[in-house]
Amino acid sequence: MPYTVVMIPSAARTRVLLMDGPDELLRAVLPPPSQLHYERAAITFLESLALWLNQNVHVVLSVDEKEARCCLGLTDELGVGVRSVYFDVESVTGALGGDEVSAFAASVTSRTCASCGWCPTETSDAHAEVVASHQGCGT
């Protein structure tokens, strides 16, 4: 099963989730796109993940309509996701659409705590130990 990276940039932060099928491998909160000083930062990050995983990754970039153009260097001028040897980008705008990957991105955002918008709030068998030890984000 291919790896999926969900990226949700906003004015306050960029949330990243790496999934291997149903398994969560990595969750990160990074600075917002406005704070990037290197225009290829997101591309280099995704290339590095693909090299580490030794496999191409599928990227779901969840942005609003106005951010869709050239967001993080992962879309072209029309808001269409770029493709490379290491990854392909699906740009999802508006209400995240109706396909399976978009529904997955929506479910990721619905499982987060209100204080930081990212910490898990639901317990599942795969995450029970992590959630049990979670002390909150403190924000």
**Could you tell me if residue 8 is inside a domain?**
yes
The count of structural domains within the chain is 1
**Could you tell me if residue 139 is inside a domain?**
no
pLDDT for residue 60 is more than 70: yes
Model confidence pLDDT, tens digit, residues 71-126: 788 888 777 888 999 999 988 875 343 344 445 544 544 554 544 444 544 434 43
DSSP the chain: --EEEEEEE-SS-EEEEEEETTEEEEEEEE--GGG-SSTTHHHHHHHHHHHHHTS-EEEEEEE-TTT-TTGGG-B-TTSPBPB-SSEEEEEEETT--SSHHHHHHHHHHHTB-TTTS-SB-S--TTTHHHHHH------
| Residue 122 belongs to domain with CATH number | 3.30.420
**Could you tell me if residue 106 is inside a domain?**
yes
**Could you tell me if residue 138 is inside a domain?**
no
What pTM, to 2 d.p., does this model score? 0.67
**Could you tell me if residue 68 is inside a domain?**
yes
Domain that holds residue 113: 3-133
